[in-house]
């Protein structure tokens, strides 16, 4: 629909904490949403939560379910596990100013939709029932595996590691439904007996339920290029006979020490690890904005430190400028060259790295400009922050959130200075520092204040 973006984000498998690599891919998804909203689009955003059936290794019946592996290890019900890690995921997202999608859909709440989709594929002759589940027959979908990948990855990997399951017609056929195995912690009734859904089918079923059979955009990390998204395309288009998704966004990995950060690899950082080292989650967001989703992010503590320094500088400048500007930001002018440069950068494939340059220029104007320039720079920064998501307006407002009594004293001091009663104004300055920890400075633009952390409440 014109003026609307309908977008699906592949959500996390909630058997463990999300690491900063996962969170980085959701920052990309958030920037996409914010960019479209910035340009006046209405965004319908859906994200799933995989709380069942994401298989370890090949998407095959022989593989084990990630949820089940952890649930068994920790002796908890898979849904308790899912609840715990879903909650933490949203705590982390909120710290990173990642906006909530309009729909958050859990796989376990959409089993009937998945079964209906599998039935359509069986009716169309794209799927077959085997003793251990239902499979998609890849020979019925020409070009399988090559829609997002130059050559079919399953052919590149032919013969490697994967043990061929004799129940499958073709080695690369993938499971739509798995028959329950003894000891399965999660299972549902189906026309093919008790079992659980394959991982890929959940995203096709839920995305099409909420967004329609053809929708605008679908995102995930680069590991989803194969098999996940190729399988989604094959089973969705085979079922509906229509194009599935118009645009795909795949975030390249966050890497540490040149290796992909992965839950299964053990060596991963959570957002809390970053906080424990004294960094602000929004410094990580700013670090993530400084690259392109097409390049990925090489995480180092030094780079995070630089992002933190940059964020602190911006915050300091904004707080000062806001006070000097009397808490007023000018309405943004569409013809402001920095505004234009910013809009062009974000519209160019979400090039946030390039968009930070005009933002930095606005910070410069907020630092050195006169009151009117500061007001314009602040207006511009608050406008850009609709995409950047760094809470810059809150920074400004927090810098003026004074106890009412302190505000009265500040106002009284300004009047004392106007009438050149320096004895009174000095006494008020001492009182503000002693009682509220507020240090007042006199500048050519009037009095300014800052918090002195060593004093006052
Ligand atoms: P998962 O829970 O494994 O499905 O991962 C959640 C999301 O994070 C998926 O979109 C993955 O593609 C993505 N992802 C996983 N590892 C990384 C990484 N190191 N960098 C960026 N994105 C990742
Ligand atoms: Zn998915």
Q: Are 139 and 234 a contacting pair, CB within 8 Å?
A: no
* Contact criterion met (CB below 8 Å) for 23 and 267: no
Q: In this structure, which ligand is nearest to the CA of 47? A: 2
> How confident is the model over 109-128, as a mean pLDDT?
98
238 and 285 housed in the same domain: no
Greater confidence (146 vs 418) lies with 146
Q: Is the pLDDT confidence value at 453 over 60?
A: no
Q: What is the CA radius of gyration of the chain?
A: 27
As a whole number of angstroms, the distance between CA 431 and CA 174 comes to 73
| Encoded tokens for 73 | 């290890």
| Cα 212 to ligand 1 centre (Å) | 25
What are the tens digits of pLDDT across the range 363-393? 999 999 999 999 999 999 999 999 999 999 9
Nearest residue by C-alpha to atom 1 in ligand 1: 12
What are the b/e assignments for 16-44, b being 16+ CB within 10 Å? bbbbbbbbbbbbbbbbbbbbbbbeebebb
Is 75 found in the same domain as 136? yes
Cβ atoms of 156 and 149 closer than 8 Å:
no
Q: Whose CA is nearest to atom 12 of ligand 1?
A: 221
Task: Give the mean pLDDT of 263-271.
Answer: 79
Residues 214 and 277 in one domain: no
Instruction: Tell whether the model's pLDDT for residue 263 goes beyond 80.
Output: no
Ligand 1 atom closest to residue 13's alpha carbon, by position in its atom list: 2
| CA 231–ligand 2 middle distance (angstroms) | 10
DSSP for residue 403: -
User: pLDDT for 1-40, tens place per residue?
Assistant: 789 999 999 999 998 889 999 999 999 999 999 999 999 9
pLDDT (0 to 100) of residue 216:
98
Cα–ligand 1 centroid distance for 341 (angstroms):
31
For residue range 418-443, what is the model confidence (pLDDT) as tens digits?
A: 888 899 999 999 999 998 888 888 87
Does any ligand 1 atom lie closer than 6 A to the CB of residue 208? no
Instruction: Determine what percent of the chain falls in helix, strand and coil, rounding each to the nearest 5.
Output: 50, 15, 35
Pocket mutation for ligand 1, best pick of 22, 46, 217 (most atoms within 8 Å of C-beta): 22
Check residue 122 and give its pLDDT: 98
Beta bridge partners of 422: none
Question: Ligand 1 pocket test: which of 223, 229, 256 has the largest number of ligand atoms within 8 Å of its C-beta?
Answer: 223
Same domain, 357 and 418: no
Q: What is the dihedral of CA 402, 404, 407, 411, to 10 degrees?
A: 160
258, part of any domain: no
* Ligand 1 atom with the shortest distance to the CA of 224: 12
Ligand 1: residue of 221, 269, 270 to mutate (most ligand atoms within 8 A of CB) is: 221
Tokens of 47: 């994200």
Position 20 in a domain = yes
Given 398, 417, 434, the domain boundary residue is 398
pLDDT at 161 over 60: no
Q: Is 224 in the pocket of ligand 1 (CB under 6 A)?
A: yes
Task: Give me the pLDDT at residue 61, please.
Answer: 45
| Cα–ligand 1 centroid distance for 428 (angstroms) | 55
Q: In this structure, are 239 and 341 located in the same domain?
A: no
pLDDT of residue 291: 96
Q: How far apart are CA 274 and CA 358, in angstroms?
A: 28
248 lines ligand 1 (CB under 6 A): no
21 lines ligand 1 (CB under 6 A): yes
For residue 65, what pLDDT is reported? Answer: 67
Q: Indicate if 135 and 238 belong to the same structural domain.
A: yes
Is residue 281 predicted with pLDDT exceeding 90? yes
Indicate whether 47 belongs to any domain. yes
Other C-beta atoms closer than 10 Å to the C-beta of 420 total: 9
pLDDT (0 to 100) of residue 53: 63
For residue 420, give its domain range: 404-451
* Per-residue pLDDT, 391: 94
Give the CATH number of the domain where residue 84 resides. Answer: 3.40.50.620
Q: Is residue 343 part of a domain?
A: yes
Which ligand ends up closest to the CA of 250? Answer: 1
pLDDT per residue as tens digits for the range 327-345: 899 999 989 999 999 999 9
Q: In this structure, are 241 and 316 located in the same domain? A: no
- 378 in a structural domain: yes
Comparing CA positions, the residue from 29, 31, 26 lying closest to residue 7 is: 29
* Number of structural domains in the chain: 3
- Residues 145, 151: Cα–Cα separation, whole Å: 7
pLDDT attached to residue 333 = 93
94 shares a domain with 186: yes
Report the candidate in 80, 69, 85 with the shortest Cα–Cα distance to residue 12.
Answer: 85
How confident is residue 57, by pLDDT bands cut at 50, 70 and 90? Answer: very low
For β-strands 254-256 and 297-299, DSSP reports them as parallel
What pLDDT, on a 0 to 100 scale, did the predictor assign at position 160?
Answer: 55
- Ligand 1: atom nearest CA of 24 is 21
Final residue before a domain boundary, out of 194, 220, 251: 251
Give me the percent of the chain exceeding a pLDDT of 70. 92
Residue with tokens 């790295």: 353
Neighbours of 72 (CB within 10 A): 14
Using DSSP's 3-state secondary structure scheme, residue 247 falls into strand
Q: Is residue 239 part of a domain?
A: yes
- Predicted local confidence at residue 63, as pLDDT: 53
Q: What is the pLDDT of residue 156?
A: 62
Does residue 310 lie within any of the structural domains?
yes
> Is 6 in contact with 216 (CB distance < 8 Å)?
yes
Mean of pLDDT over the chain: 90
Residue 64, Cβ neighbours under 10 Å: how many? 12
> Is the distance from the beta carbon of residue 221 to the nearest atom of ligand 1 less than 6 Å?
yes
Segment 399-426 shows an average pLDDT of 84
- What spacing in Å lies between the alpha carbon of 195 and ligand 1's midpoint? 26
223 lines ligand 1 (CB under 6 A): yes
Sheet holding 127-130, edge to edge: 127-130, 133-136, 174-179, 195-197
Q: Answer yes or no: is the C-beta of 254 below 6 A from any ligand 1 atom.
A: yes
Q: What is the mean pLDDT of residues 300-324?
A: 94
Same-domain check for residues 154 and 185: yes
CA dist 411 and 351 (Å) reads 44
| pLDDT score for 286 | 98
Q: Which of 380, 398, 416 is the last residue of a domain?
A: 398
Task: Say yes or no: 232 and 353 in one domain.
Answer: no
Tokens 């511009």, located at residue: 380
Residue 457 lies in a domain: no
User: Are 74 and 140 contained in the same domain?
Assistant: yes
Q: Mutation test of ligand 1: which of 11, 18, 21 has the most ligand atoms closer than 8 Å to its C-beta?
A: 21
Do 207 and 312 fall within a single domain? no
Judge if the beta carbon of residue 226 lies within 6 A of ligand 1: no
In the reported structure, the alpha carbon of residue 131 is separated from the centroid of ligand 2 by a whole-number distance in angstroms of: 26
Q: Decide: 220 in ligand 1 pocket, CB within 6 A.
A: yes
The pLDDT score that the predictor gives to residue 260 is: 85
pLDDT tier for residue 154 given thresholds of 50, 70 and 90: low
Q: What is the pLDDT of residue 366?
A: 97
Would you say the CB of residue 12 lies under 6 angstroms from ligand 1?
yes
């Amino acid at each position: 629909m014109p003026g609307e973006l309908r977008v699906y984000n592949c959500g996390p498998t909630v058997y463990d904490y999300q690491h900063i690599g996962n969170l980085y891919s959701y920052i990309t998804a958030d920037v996409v949403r914010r960019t479209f909203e910035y340009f006046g689009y209405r965004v319908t955003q859906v994200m799933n939560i995989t709380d069942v059936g994401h298989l370890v290794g090949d998407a095959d019946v022989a593989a084990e379910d990630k949820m089940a592996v952890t649930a068994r290890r920790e002796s908890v019900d898979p849904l308790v596990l899912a609840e715990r890690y879903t909650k933490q995921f949203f705590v982390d997202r909120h710290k990173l100013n990642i906006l909530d999608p309009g729909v958050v859909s859990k796989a376990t709440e959409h089993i009937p939709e998945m079964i209906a989709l599998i039935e359509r594929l069986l009716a169309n002759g794209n799927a077959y029932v085997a003793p251990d589940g239902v499979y998609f027959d890849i020979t019925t979908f020409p070009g399988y595996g090559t829609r997002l990948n130059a050559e079919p990855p399953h052919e590149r990997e032919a013969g490697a590691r994967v043990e061929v399951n004799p129940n499958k017609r073709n080695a690369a056929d993938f499971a739509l439904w798995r028959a329950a195995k003894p000891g399965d912690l999660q299972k549902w009734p189906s026309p093919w007996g008790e079992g659980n859904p394959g991982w890929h089918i959940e995203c096709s079923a839920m995305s099409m339920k909420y967004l329609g059979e053809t929708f605008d955009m679908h995102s995930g990390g680069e590991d989803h290029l194969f098999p996940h998204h190729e399988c989604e395309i094959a089973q969705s288009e085979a079922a509906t006979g229509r194009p599935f998704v118009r645009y795909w966004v795949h975030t390249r990995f966050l890497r540490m020490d040149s290796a992909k950060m992965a839950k299964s690899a053990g060596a991963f950082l959570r957002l809390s690890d970053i906080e424990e080292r004294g960094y602000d989650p929004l410094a990580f967001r700013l670090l993530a904005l400084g690259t392109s989703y097409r390049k990925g992010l090489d995480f180092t503590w030094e780079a995070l430190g630089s992002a933190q320094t940059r964020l602190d500088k911006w915050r300091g400048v904004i707080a000062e400028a806001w006070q000097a500007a009397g808490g007023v930001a000018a309405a943004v002018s569409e013809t402001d060259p920095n505004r234009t440069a910013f809009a062009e950068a974000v519209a160019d494939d979400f090039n946030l790295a390039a968009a930070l340059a005009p933002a930095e220029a606005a910070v410069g104007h907020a630092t050195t400009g006169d009151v009117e320039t500061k007001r314009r720079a602040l207006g511009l920064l608050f406008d850009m922050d609709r995409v950047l998501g760094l809470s810059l307006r809150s920074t400004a407002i927090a810098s003026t959130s004074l106890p009412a009594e302190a505000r009265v004293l500040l106002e009284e001091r300004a009047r004392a200075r106007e009438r050149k009663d320096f004895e009174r104004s000095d006494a008020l300055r001492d009182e503000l520092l002693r009682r509220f920890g507020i240090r007042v400075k006199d500048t050519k633009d009037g009095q300014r204040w800052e918090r002195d952390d060593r004093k006052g409440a």
